[in-house]
Amino acid sequence: MPAEASPRDPDRRAMLRGAGMLGLALGGAGCASRAGADFAPVDRLLRDAVARGDVPGVVAAVGHGGRIVYRGVRGHRALLPAPEPESWTTRFDMASLTKPTITAPAVMQLWEQGAFTLDEPVARRLPAFAAAGKQDITIRQLLTHYSGLAPDLDLATPWQGRDAAVRRVMAARPDRPAGERFVYSDINFITLGLLVETVSGLPLDRYAARHILAPLGMAHSGFRPDAALGPEIAPTQFDDGNVMLRGVVHDPTARRMGGVAGHAGLFSDADDMAAYAQALLDRRAGRGSAFPLKRGTVLLMTTPQQPADRTDLRGLGWDIATHYSTPRGDLFPVGSFGHTGFTGTSLWMDPASDSFVLILTNRVHPDGGHGRQIIRLRHDVATAAARALGVT
């Protein structure tokens, strides 16, 4: 289905123009504006994924050279209780894209201010974190997922609330020595969210709104969206009480924590996420940008920061080359970076070609399935987009 044809308000239009994004807001679904670029294969991949039932709907964008050169809107944002057509303005549960887009830059803003060093023990700022053998785990090891901590908190017992989560994080025992190997862990970023709150004195959602989302003009992004926005939000799946989650975070740990956590909880739309990606690429390249970090900090975050003798390459929050890197496809080089979200979201950026690929779906709707299919879709769309851009 064609996307809505114009920005939603004059201020939004001005922001998009300033960010080099006016083409994003005014183009039609599946339009290509780069001379000679053929994005028909990308469009076909999206259409076929919807037709097969791999995703209920999908919103995608390819950015290149400071503007959007392709955008696609296919399928439905909701299948149950009644079908609703997909829209460019649909807000999605970003899931783990919260980690690199919100929590990691929040940590790095505080680092820029001299609040801590990356290689100091987390326990220096969160003393209770020293329990159970975690006293030497560093902030950098949390950011790169080399902490040795388990992938997630135990959900087998019916705990509820932020305080209960904090107690479990502080009591968590590492599975292996810090620095030994890459293990992707939500506990790492829950802890980093707590670090931001402790050092800044603000709840993470308020910190993000004030210091990350507002500077970027991301007016359609945030944690715990207002209930009135429900019709604009892509639903995910039924919770344990057989209620369809819509505007309530899908991640069960973040949901038990009240919807605000360092590892998940952000909701956003294609306009805002594309603006984020472009601002980051602009800052990284030394161009004018509203991105709320210094260029050197962005370079640090998007280059390998794992232990020197380890082959799983991670930046500070961003994935570079691990078994999670399928959104790079076959053509974008190692040195590009990005991240995925469990609900079916992904963002991959390539500084070498000045490009990004954004894919937003609610692939878990309505029954929580299609994990393998979204992995393949991310890979294939990235490959087709890179080929259209002339990346070899």
- Residues 155-179 have pLDDT tens digits of 999 999 999 999 999 999 999 999 9
| Polymer length of the chain | 392
Burial class (CB in 10 A: 0-12, 13-18, 19+), 95: buried
Q: How many whole angstroms separate alpha carbon 280 and alpha carbon 20?
A: 13
| Structure confidence at residue 36 as a pLDDT band (50, 70, 90) | low
Amino acid at 237: Q
Given a cut of 90, whether residue 78 has pLDDT beyond it is yes
Which DSSP string do the residues of 264-329 spell out, in sequence order?
Answer: S-EEE-HHHHHHHHHHHHHHHHTS----SS-HHHHHHHTS--S-TT--SEE-SS-EEESTT-GGGT
Backbone angles phi, psi at 286, to 5 degrees: 85, 15
Q: Residue 75 pairs with which residues in a beta bridge?
A: 57
| Structure confidence at residue 310 as a pLDDT band (50, 70, 90) | very high
Given a cut of 50, whether residue 136 has pLDDT beyond it is yes
Q: How many whole angstroms separate alpha carbon 84 and alpha carbon 76?
A: 5
Q: Name which of 366, 323, 329, 322 is nearest 344 in CA terms.
A: 366
| Structure confidence at residue 21 as a pLDDT band (50, 70, 90) | very low
Its sign, for the CA torsion 300, 303, 307, 309, is negative
Q: How far is CA 264 from CA 34, 42, 217, in A?
A: 34, 28, 21
Mean pLDDT in residue range 296-302 = 99
Q: How many whole angstroms separate alpha carbon 373 and alpha carbon 113?
A: 42
Residue ranges and CATH numbers for the domains of the chain are 10-95+207-388 (3.40.710.10), 100-202 (1.20.58)
Is pTM beyond 0.85? Reply is yes
Q: For the CA atoms of 149, 103, 263, 337, what is the dihedral angle to 10 degrees? A: -80
Q: What tokens were used for 77?
A: 């944002």
**Confidence at residue 186, expressed as pLDDT on a 0 to 100 scale:** 99
Q: What percent of the chain has pLDDT over 70?
A: 91
**Confidence at residue 37, expressed as pLDDT on a 0 to 100 scale:** 82
Q: How many whole angstroms separate alpha carbon 38 and alpha carbon 62?
A: 12
